[in-house]
């Protein structure tokens, strides 16, 4: 029910539905927000702190409340993914457009704490809306399942940090409330395909075997056929291209205009948002006018100083759109090729999200698909709300793909027998019980990238832990991942990422079978325990969970823990 749309990177949508309803039409999308008069599916994910805007605001402001003249923070969620390559976002034109708070943090706050502050404001507003619609008494007696969407390529650490921020903000804090995670493509698929199912569908999807009762389950709860891919190709990058065009065309006369008059949320940028949304319809050869903006320039082909509007021709607008559309097509092309390698055929594209509603994108993708014998490109009604509606459908119908694929290699770092001439001496140590020379930091990759993961899949690893007699029996086990096609052998490789820690605490009574013996190297007494770690990649909550077992008994279980910075 909560969506942080990654194609735009700066907007959140919220939907809700009663558990007795299963139709798309029964899902309510919140479309009124503090600080905004018009109806809109989403609220900007930006926050301004009163402590940094003294004499401007009496309290912290969020979403549409944040005016363009305030110091605020946006795109913060990108900082949650420590493994992400953010160099592509280090763009001066983005900073000029969105302000210095873009992907920055206030002093003394982490990315997770900033997102927690934003989520807290969102949670308070959501509760207010639900109490108003349902009545406070009914709402307070009603359990709530919260489905939080996440980008397809989000790292496990980013997923966990997002969930922790939501929990700290109040989501799931009431008795019987719970939080689950769902990937954005899964949510979008649920919402986009459901109208095409059933005997009365206008443009039906063909499914084999035929669909009968639980019809959407037969189609969606099937399997993904390739790994998720992503790119920086949302409509925000058209905004960036427009900002660059304004700088190139008008120079300092444009950049000297105060941010409150030209930045996000200003009348000027709202005007461009409308022009962007409506550009590129069939037989539309007109240019667009964007304003108002007052600049000290005379009348020209690009500026009307009487109406205070900037004029862009159809060709000018195409130059803003084409690099982004090209990137979208490249991503689609990579998915089509991946399907072909598995002898699968893509017969239609369904566009969702804010940019999916663009006439220009639909036209260009339609032309490309025609040349590739892909049947159709469709855009569902209210496609900007497709992801957040799909998240609700997940809760209502309990659907998820039966089979997915691992987006990375996953494994552990073990101590293994030292290989002379291969392993570095700096990593050598002596096993206290056997006296054998060992090497630390060697990777054991248990799950390969691209592995099929069915709904019951669990990663298992047999572990042997040694503790000195009298030492606390607390184990810290770190899980690692790597997205390279061929993973490296050692944990200290720069592309090996720490996913998180699992920290089971044991006692000698936990195990019915363990060794107690004297070490050969130091004469000290040691306990040695054997047990198995099971990691569930398909847990209902949507994040990794684990259990430690011994002789078939669960001796410890928990969710994956966040690593400290």
Contact 148, 172 (CB under 8 A): no
Q: Is residue 385 part of a domain?
A: no
Distance CA 197, CA 12 (A): 28
Section 451-473 average pLDDT:
78
Query: Does 499 fall in a domain?
Result: yes
The number of distinct structural domains making up the chain is 2
Kindly state whether residue 343 falls inside one of the protein's structural domains: no
CA–CA gap between residue 72 and residue 117 (Å, rounded): 13
| Predicted pLDDT at 168 | 96
pLDDT digits (tens, 9 = 90+) for 495-524: 898 877 777 666 666 666 677 778 777 778
The pLDDT assigned to 454 comes to 73
Residue for token digits 């903000």?
169
Q: Give the HSE-up count for residue 530: Cα atoms under 13 Å, Cβ half-sphere.
A: 8
Asked if the structure places residue 268 within a domain, the reply is no
Q: Does residue 196 fall inside a structural domain?
A: yes
Q: Which residue has the higher pLDDT, 441 or 88?
A: 441
DSSP per-residue codes, 11-56 = EEEEEE--TT--SGGG-EE----TT--S--SEEE-EEE-GGGSTTT
Higher pLDDT, 355 or 363: 363
Checking if the pLDDT of 308 tops 90, the result is: yes
Domain membership of residue 96 (yes or no) is yes
CATH code at position 553: 2.60.34
Task: Using the 3D structure, point to which of 162, 188, 220 is the last residue of a domain.
Answer: 220
Higher pLDDT, residue 561 or 326: 326
What is the pLDDT, as a whole number, of residue 508?
62
Report the pLDDT value the prediction gives residue 474, as an integer from 0 to 100. Answer: 74
Give the pLDDT confidence score for residue 4 in this predicted structure: 46
Reply yes or no on whether the pLDDT at 472 is more than 90. Answer: no
pLDDT at 489: 93
Select from 185, 220, 255 the last residue of a domain: 220
CATH of the domain at 139: 3.30.420
Q: Could you read off the pLDDT of 316-356 as tens digits, one per residue?
A: 999 999 999 998 888 888 888 888 887 888 877 878 777 77
What pLDDT score does 214 carry?
A: 37
Note whether residue 282 is domain-resident: no
Among the candidates 198, 220, 242, a domain finishes at 220
Phi, psi of 148 (to 5 degrees): -105, 120
Cis peptide before 292 (omega within 30 of 0): yes
Domain that holds residue 465: 406-559
Residue 318 lies in a domain: no
Count CA atoms within 13 Å of residue 165 on its CB side. 25
């Amino acid at each position: 029910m909560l969506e942080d749309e990654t194609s735009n990177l700066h907007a959140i949508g919220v939907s809700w539905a009663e558990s007795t309803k299963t139709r798309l039409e029964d899902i309510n999308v919140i479309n009124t927000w503090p600080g905004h008069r018009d109806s809109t599916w989403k609220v900007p994910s930006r926050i301004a702190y009163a402590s940094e805007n003294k004499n401007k605001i009496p309290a912290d402001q969020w979403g549409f409340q944040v005016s363009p003249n305030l110091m605020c923070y946006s795109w913060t969620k990108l900082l949650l993914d420590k493994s992400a390559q953010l160099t592509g976002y280090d763009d001066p034109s983005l900073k000029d457009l969105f302000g210095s708070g873009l992907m920055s943090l206030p002093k003394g706050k982490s990315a997770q704490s900033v997102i927690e502050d934003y989520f807290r404001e969102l949670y308070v507003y959501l509760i207010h809306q639900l109490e108003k619609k349902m009545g406070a008494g009914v709402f307070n007696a009603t359990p709530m399942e919260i489905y939080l969407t996440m980008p397809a390529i989000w790292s496990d650490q980013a997923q966990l940090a997002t969930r922790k921020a939501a929990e700290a903000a109040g989501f799931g804090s009431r008795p019987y409330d719970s939080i689950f995670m769902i990937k954005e493509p899964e949510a979008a698929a649920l919402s986009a395909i459901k109208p095409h199912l059933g005997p009365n569908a206008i443009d039906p999807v063909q499914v084999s075997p035929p669909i009968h009762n639980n019809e959407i389950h037969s189609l969606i709860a099937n399997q993904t056929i390739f790994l998720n891919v992503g790119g920086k190709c949302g409509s925000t990058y058209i905004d960036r291209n427009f900002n660059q065009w304004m700088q190139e065309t008008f120079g300092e006369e444009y950049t000297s205009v105060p941010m409150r008059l030209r930045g996000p949320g200003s009348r000027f940028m709202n005007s461009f948002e409308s022009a962007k949304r409506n550009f590129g319809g069939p037989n539309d050869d007109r240019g667009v006018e964007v304003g108002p903006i007052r600049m000290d320039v005379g009348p020209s082909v690009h500026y009307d100083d009487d109406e205070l509007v900037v004029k862009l021709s159809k060709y000018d607008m195409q130059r803003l759109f084409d690099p982004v559309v090209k990137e979208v097509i490249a991503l689609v092309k990579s998915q089509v090729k991946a399907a072909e390698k598995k002898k699968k055929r893509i017969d239609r594209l369904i566009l969702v999200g804010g940019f999916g509603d663009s006439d220009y994108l639909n036209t260009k993708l339609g032309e490309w698909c025609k040349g590739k014998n892909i049947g159709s490109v469709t855009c569902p009604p209210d496609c900007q709300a497709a992801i957040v509606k799909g998240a609700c459908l997940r809760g209502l119908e309990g659907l998820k793909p039966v089979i997915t694929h691992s987006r990375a290699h996953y494994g552990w770092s073990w101590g293994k027998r030292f290989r002379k001439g291969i392993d570095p001496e700096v990593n050598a140590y002596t096993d206290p019980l056997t006296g054998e020379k060992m090497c630390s930091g060697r990777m054991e990759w248990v799950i390969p990238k691209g592995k099929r993961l069915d709904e019951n899949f669990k990663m298992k690893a047999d572990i042997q832990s040694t503790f000195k007699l009298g030492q606390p029996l607390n184990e810290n086990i770190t899980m690692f991942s790597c997205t390279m096609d061929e993973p490296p052998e050692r944990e200290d490789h720069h592309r090996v990422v720490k996913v998180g820690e699992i920290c089971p605490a044991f006692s000698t009574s936990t195990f019915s079978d363990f060794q107690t013996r004297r070490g050969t190297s130091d004469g000290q007494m040691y306990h040695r325990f054997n047990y198995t770690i099971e990691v569930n990649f398909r847990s209902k909550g949507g994040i990794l969970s684990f259990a430690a077992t011994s002789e078939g008994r669960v001796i410890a279980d928990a969710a994956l823990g966040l690593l400290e910075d």
